[in-house]
């Protein structure tokens, strides 16, 4: 996963006037294909880059539901609601909870999309503790006290999880080859003095990685920070719950799209979309189909995933690992 987003503000050449540059923006709008008067859900509002483009297409009769768990994103969403060219409903919740709630309400949509992971705004706010290049309290919670999930800060994780759990988390969610050494160093060092800041954690990690390997694959803390961020926010659990809940609200002909930034996310999106586009699942040696299963969706576009153009990758390095996938509902199975 060396391709993961570099959660390092110094790696990023962001436009000065934009808190977050939307990735694969035109491609996402083309995939969701919003039409005037339709209803669409943006599961990850952020700074509203994708939402602004979709809102233009929906027009005054259209409805855009925007979801985020981050208080700063939600402030922007409220301002967006006041000025958007379509009707806007703001939902402050983790996206899995939001879609489950919408489904329970009997809400129907023509499209929904996710732009997964964190925003540049979150990295840039040093006090949130996402960046390993800035010393700050070790927090990493995207949602601060959101009702749907009681998140534990990264400081609590490194203070309380045992070495085995830390090793498994750093190894699996960060794909860090020195996970065992880092986990043992955390447990040893926290007994000496609590690890409560990003700076101290970076120091502990850096010293745990053998000197020749320290900067061989980017910053030595990059993979551990990614693992802690994913764990703290239950990012993979959220995706696993949100995709079927979002699919549940999509009407016939409606579209679901997702942009992922690393293989752990993309694998989930790919697997779920494949389950929707798959027809018969009978063993190949059966002469006739007995499962009766027909595809619920078809892939949008000629390729199963879309990557940013070389120009976008050059102008926005954060986009490099992005992959966009989308499906269209072709029939309801219920
Ligand atoms: C990559 S940014 C989205 C950027 C946005 N598309 C734009 O153009 O500005 C991801 C956003 O999703 C939010 N987010 C991530 N996981 C979430 C979850 N499980 N529930 C709700 N919001 C989430 C983050 O707080 C962040 O604001």
Q: Which domains does the chain have, with CATH numbers?
A: 9-121+237-329 (3.40.50.150), 152-232 (1.10.150.170)
- % of the chain at pLDDT higher than 70: 91
Number of Cβ within a 10 Å radius of residue 311: 8
Residue-level pLDDT at 323? 97
What is the average per-residue pLDDT within 197-211?
95
Residue-level pLDDT at 81? 98
Ligand 1 atom closest to Cα of residue 44: 12
**At residue 41, does pLDDT exceed 80?**
yes
Q: What is the mean pLDDT of residues 69-80?
A: 95
* Cβ(68) – ligand 1 distance below 6 Å: yes
Please say if the pLDDT value at position 1 is more than 80.
Answer: no
- pLDDT band at residue 52 under the 50/70/90 scheme: very high
- For residue 261, pLDDT beyond 90: yes
H or E element that contains 112:
strand 109-115
The finding on whether 94 has its CB within 6 A of some atom of ligand 1 is yes
Atom of ligand 1 lying closest to residue 235 CA: 19
Distance in angstroms (rounded) separating the CA atoms of residues 12 and 35? 34
User: Per-residue pLDDT averaged across 82-108, rounded?
Assistant: 96
| Lowest-pLDDT range of 12-21, 60-69, 79-88, 257-266 | 12-21
**What pLDDT was estimated at residue 227?**
97
Residues 187-211, mean pLDDT to the nearest whole number: 96
Higher pLDDT, 288 or 39: 39
Q: Please determine, for residue 238, whether its predicted confidence score (pLDDT) is greater than 70.
A: yes
**Is the CB of 19 inside a 6 Å radius of any atom of ligand 1?**
no
Residue 148 predicted with pLDDT over 80: no
Asked whether the predicted pLDDT for residue 80 surpasses 90, the reply is yes
Q: Quick one: average pLDDT of 233-252?
A: 97
**Could you give the CA distance from residue 315 to residue 309 in angstroms, rounded to a whole number?**
10
The model's confidence at residue 192, banded by pLDDT at 50, 70 and 90, is: very high
* pLDDT band at 333; cut points 50, 70, 90: very low
Torsion of the alpha carbons at 75, 123, 326 and 82, rounded to the nearest 10? 10
Which pLDDT value is given to residue 15? Answer: 37
Q: Where does the pLDDT of residue 216 fall: very low under 50, low under 70, confident under 90, or very high at 90 and above?
A: confident
Identify which has the larger pLDDT, 16 or 58: 58
Assess whether the C-beta atom of 142 lies below 6 angstroms from ligand 1: yes
Centroid of ligand 1 to alpha carbon of 286 (angstroms): 45
128 pLDDT above the threshold of 60 = yes
* Mutate which of 12, 44, 308 for ligand 1 pocket (most atoms within 8 A of beta carbon): 44
pLDDT greater than 80 at residue 166: yes
pTM reported for the whole predicted model:
0.90
Dihedral angle sign, alpha carbons of residues 153, 157, 158, 159: positive
pLDDT, greater one: 6 or 313: 313
pLDDT value of position 146: 54
- The residues pairing with 67 across neighbouring beta strands, listed in sequence order, are 91
Buried b (16+ CB within 10 A) or exposed e, 171-203: bebbbbebbbbbbebbbebbeeeebbbbebbbb
Task: Tell how far the Cα of 255 is from the centroid of ligand 1, in angstroms.
Answer: 19
pLDDT band with cut points at 50, 70 and 90 for residue 84: very high
The answer, yes or no, to whether residue 144 has pLDDT greater than 90, is no
Q: Which of 34-48, 53-67, 254-268, 290-304 has the lowest mean pLDDT?
A: 290-304
Average pLDDT value for residue range 183-207: 97
Report the range of poorest mean pLDDT among 70-74, 88-92, 148-152, 176-180: 148-152
Centroid of ligand 1 to alpha carbon of 243 (angstroms): 15
Give the residue-averaged pLDDT of 159-167.
97
Q: How far is the CA of 303 from the centre of ligand 1 (A)?
A: 25
Q: Provide the pLDDT for residue 161.
A: 97
Token pair listed for 300: 């949008």
Residue minimizing CA distance to atom 10 of ligand 1: 118
What distance in Å separates the CA atoms of residue 126 and residue 124, rounded to the nearest whole number?
6
């Amino acid at each position: 996963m060396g391709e993961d987003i570099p959660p390092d503000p110094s790696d990023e050449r962001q436009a000065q006037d934009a808190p977050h540059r939307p990735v694969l923006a035109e491609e996402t709008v083309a995939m969701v294909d919003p039409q005037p008067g339709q209803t669409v859900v943006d599961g990850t509002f952020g700074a509203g880059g994708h939402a602004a483009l979709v809102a233009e297409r929906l027009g005054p009769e259209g409805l855009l539901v925007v979801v985020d768990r981050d208080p700063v994103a939600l402030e922007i969403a409220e301002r967006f609601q006041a000025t958007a060219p379509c009707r806007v409903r703001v939902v402050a919740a983790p996206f899995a909870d939001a879609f489950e709630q919408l489904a329970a309400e009997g809400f129907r949509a023509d499209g929904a999309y996710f732009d997964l992971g964190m925003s540049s705004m979150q990295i840039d706010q040093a006090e949130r503790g996402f960046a390993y290049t800035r010393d700050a309290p070790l927090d990493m919670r995207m949602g601060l006290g959101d009702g749907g999930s009681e998140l534990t800060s990264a400081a609590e994780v490194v203070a309380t999880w045992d070495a085995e759990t830390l090793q498994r988390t750093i190894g699996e969610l960060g794909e860090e080859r020195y996970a065992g050494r880092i986990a043992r160093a955390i447990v040893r060092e926290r007994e000496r003095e609590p690890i409560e800041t990003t700076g101290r954690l970076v120091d502990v990690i850096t010293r745990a990685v053998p000197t020749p390997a320290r900067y061989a694959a980017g910053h030595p803390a990059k993979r551990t920070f990614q693992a802690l961020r994913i764990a703290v926010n239950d990012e993979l659990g959220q995706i696993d719950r949100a995709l079927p809940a979002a699919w549940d609200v999509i009407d016939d002909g409606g579209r679901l799209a997702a942009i992922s930034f690393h293989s752990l996310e993309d694998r989930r999106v790919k697997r779920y979309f494949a389950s929707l586009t798959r027809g018969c699942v009978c063993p190949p040696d059966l002469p006739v189909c007995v499962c009766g299963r027909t595809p619920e969706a078809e892939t949008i576009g000629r390729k199963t995933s879309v990557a940013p153009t070389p120009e976008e990758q050059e102008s926005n390095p954060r986009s490099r690992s992005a992959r966009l996938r989308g499906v269209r509902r072709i029939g309801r199975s219920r």
